[in-house]
Amino acid sequence: MNLIQSIDVATPRLTTRVLTSGPQGGMPVVFIHGNLSSATWWEDTMARLPAGFRGVAPDLRSYGAADPAAKVDATRGMGDFADDLAALLDVMGIARAHLVGHSLGGAVLWRFLADHPGRAITLTQVAPGSPFGFGGTMADGTPCHPDGAGSGAGAVNPQFAALLAAGARGDETPFHPRSILNTYVWKPPFIPARIEALLDAALAQHCGLQDYPGDFRPSAQWPMVAAGVMGPINALSPIYQADPLGFTRIADKPPVLWLRGADDPIVADASLFDLGTLGSLGAVPGWPGPDVHPPQPMVGQTRSALERYAAAGGQVAEVVLPDCGHSPYLEQPAAFDAAFHAHLRR
């Protein structure tokens, strides 16, 4: 097992914590975490990397031990995150690396491929967010409404946001962070051995109107709230994904491994965190119907985008783990590693 070390790295854009593993001169594998998490979530995966590989995992802007003064300009979509990663690689002397993203981290890497081509040796996407964003889109990725109604900070449950900001560690309600993790982020009854450390990382989320959940605006369209302009959740709004298929057009296409759990309730074609889905189930009143605001087909959108990537010369492999939720690398590490390590050794 590789020893995990922590360093602080300052770039012209951001100072943040970076976890590392493996030999200093090893082949770099860079891990990008998802929402409500931090680099901490990758520690076990990094420790299991094959000999000769070096793990690198930063805390993203607005998460963990990243500089709290650095805010996410949501109007750039995933742009701040992608540019932060490029700056980090530059400072660490990493010209090219194997890239791994989970959930929001996967959305970051779609953008990174487009904006910084040639820097990925391979790409591993673990339950990645759709290239078109999260919430409020038609099947083809077009936003349901020009103002992003139904996406961004206004779609976050306010009870959960308040408990997260308060650092609540219990599970007294379904809205406590621990309850959300144990119900949705991995498939019950699984609970990670390091649940307390993972919960610490979730509670280290930067909170507020400029961070999580961010600001939001009233809308004349259902559900009467639209995306704001600050924070990572607003940055996922489809109205801010300026060129979601840009990564399919790059000349230097790294091989892609798309790995997901069959029972993921978060990034799904009927996500329980998508207001279109919740409206269709009657959980949010006033739903205008599928012609106006359908459930977002997140998996279908990613598949369509990767089919376009493959048609343009890229190599894509899809692995679906049965009886697995949103976090395959935590839930089924042996099966995850079998596919992931083979991909690294291509």
CATH number for the domain that contains residue 198? 3.40.50.1820
Q: What angle do CA 151, 218, 128 make, to 5 degrees?
A: 10
| Cβ–Cβ under 8 Å, residues 228 and 213 | no
The pLDDT of 260-278, averaged and rounded, is: 98
Confidence tier at 2 by pLDDT (50, 70, 90):
confident
| 8 Å CB contact between 292 and 222 | yes
Short-list 188, 185, 198, CA closest to 328: 185
User: Any residues with CB less than 8 A from the CB of 105 and at least 6 apart, and which?
Assistant: 31, 32, 33, 34, 60, 128
Is residue 124 within 8 A of residue 31, CB to CB? The reply is no
Q: Measuring CA to CA, which residue among 105, 200, 131, 203 is closest to residue 161?
A: 203
Under the banding of pLDDT at 50, 70 and 90, the label for residue 343 is very high
- Under a CB-based contact definition with an 8 Å cutoff, are residues 230 and 74 in contact? yes
Please name the residue that has the structure tokens 């750039």: 76
Report the number of distinct structural domains present in the chain.
1
Flag whether 173 is in a domain.
no
Instruction: Give the span between the Cα atoms of 236 and 234, in whole angstroms.
Output: 5
What mean pLDDT do residues 46-54 have?
Answer: 97
- Which domain range does residue 95 map to? 5-155+183-344
Q: Is 1 a residue whose pLDDT tops 80?
A: no
C-alpha 148: how far from chain center: 19
In a domain? residue 162: no
d(CA 8, CA 19): 9
197 in any annotated domain: yes
pLDDT in tens, 279-319: 999 999 999 999 999 999 999 999 999 999 999 999 999 99
> What integer pLDDT is reported at residue 312 of this predicted model?
98
Does residue 167 lie in a domain region? no
Dist CA 8 CA 17 (whole Å): 5
Asked if residues 180 and 327 have their Cβ atoms less than 8 Å apart, the reply is no
Q: Is residue 104 part of a domain?
A: yes
Query: CA neighbours within 13 Å on the CB side: how many for 129?
Result: 31
Query: pTM value?
Result: 0.98
The per-residue pLDDT for 187 is 98
Residue 162's CB is within 10 A of a number of other CB atoms, namely: 12
Residue 146 lies in a domain: yes
List CB contacts of 166: < 8 A, sequence separation 6 or more: none
Position 7 scores a pLDDT of: 98
> Which tens digits make up the pLDDT trace of 72-121?
999 999 999 999 999 999 999 999 999 999 999 999 999 999 999 999 99
Nearest to 258 by CA among 309, 310, 306: 306
Note the pLDDT tens digit of each residue in 195-213.
999 999 999 999 999 999 9
118-151 tens-digit pLDDT: 999 999 999 999 999 999 999 999 999 999 999 9
- Give a yes or no: residue 163 inside a domain: no
Residue type, 4: I
Q: What is the C-alpha to C-alpha distance for residues 166 and 209, in angstroms, rounded to an integer? A: 15
Which residue bears the tokens 């219990």? 170
Question: Would you state the pLDDT for residue 23?
Answer: 96
Q: Are 103 and 76 in contact (CB under 8 A)?
A: no
Q: Flag whether 165 is in a domain.
A: no
- 7-45 pLDDT, tens digit per residue, is 999 999 999 999 999 999 999 999 999 999 999 999 999
